Amino acid sequence: YTAVPLSAGLYPQDCHEIYQLGIKENGIYTIQPDPKKPALEVQTLNAQKMYKSGGEWTVFQRRFDGQTDFNRTWQEYCDGFGSLQTEHWLGNAVLYALTASGHHTLRITLQDWHNQTRHANYNNFKVAGENQRYMFRLTARDYHGDAGNAFSYSKQYNHDGRAFSTYDRDHDRYAAGNCARYYGAGWWFDSCLAANLNGRYYHGRYSGITDGIYWGTWYILTDYRTGERYSFKSVEMKTRPRRS
């Protein structure tokens, strides 16, 4: 393996450091984003053939079968839940530690029920600490991809700069209620959403409120012919240090 200086912990800080060590296979590896806290296992995507943009990704959210409930408490979202072999949320505290220093990239991969895959990439991504309610920071002009920029949809539906909310901790900008309780997910709500990748898992089309896995710049909220909404088959959120 290539000799590189690691972070202050006993383990690599993220999947980027694992990649620097010469480990190029996808898999579950141990990292330590915060040297003052215990190490944890993460899903690492290092195989360059998977992405034109290369590997080194630390996966922090994964949905594909609806077996894991994403309507969780503030503490559960802080600590993380699910399993790496199935659906999971790595944890807001880990996200903060992963993105606290340096510049980071966010990549979202969405697949619909016709097996079409699209991506949204943001070259400036950061999650603040709990004292700032795990605020979500992006630079919208650094978006690229083919799924559209749903995180900066409009003035009322702009997830950039928004605090995280759960049904037991309301930090959204919807004065009339609690978006997390209404839509059944922890997320960086505005008033309320143009994107919600932690929504309920539906097998394609559904009716009622828009509480499914949603990305508003690819599929419209409602099919006006049938009144149905659309929820995605799979979604994955991952981050890595930004390449200069």
The sign of the torsion formed by the CA atoms of 131, 32, 18, 5 equals positive
* pLDDT greater than 70 at residue 114: yes
SS3 of 142, please? helix
Percent of the chain with pLDDT over 90: 64
pLDDT-wise least confident of 20-34, 56-70, 169-183, 208-222? 20-34
Query: Which of these, 104, 145, 120, 96, lies nearest to 195 by C-alpha position?
Result: 120
* pLDDT greater than 90 at residue 4: no
pLDDT confidence band for 46 (50 / 70 / 90)? low
The sign of the torsion formed by the CA atoms of 11, 78, 90, 138 equals negative
Segment 207-230 shows an average pLDDT of 88
Segment 48-63 shows an average pLDDT of 73
Average pLDDT in the chain:
87
pLDDT confidence band for 157 (50 / 70 / 90)? confident
Note the pLDDT of residue 234: 98
pLDDT confidence band for 50 (50 / 70 / 90)? very low
CATH code 3.90.215.10 for 15-241: yes
- Going from N- to C-terminal start, the domains of the chain cover 15-241
Segment 108-114 shows an average pLDDT of 96
The Cα 114–Cα 109 span in angstroms is 15
Q: Which residue has the higher pLDDT, 9 or 207?
A: 207
* pLDDT greater than 80 at residue 142: yes
What torsion do the CA atoms of 164, 169, 171, 173 make, to the nearest 10 degrees?
A: 110
Q: Provide the CB-side half-sphere exposure for 237 (13 A, CA).
A: 21
Query: Which of these, 228, 143, 140, 157, lies nearest to 196 by C-alpha position?
Result: 157
Note the pLDDT of residue 138: 83
pLDDT-wise least confident of 17-26, 131-140, 182-191? 17-26
Note the pLDDT of residue 201: 98
Q: Please say whether the beta carbons of 188 and 136 come within 8 A.
A: yes
Note the pLDDT of residue 19: 72
pLDDT-wise least confident of 3-7, 34-38, 61-65, 153-157? 3-7
The Cα 219–Cα 231 span in angstroms is 9
Q: Which residue has the higher pLDDT, 30 or 244?
A: 30
Note the pLDDT of residue 180: 98
Note the pLDDT of residue 5: 45
Q: Which residue has the higher pLDDT, 51 or 152?
A: 152
The Cα 86–Cα 63 span in angstroms is 8
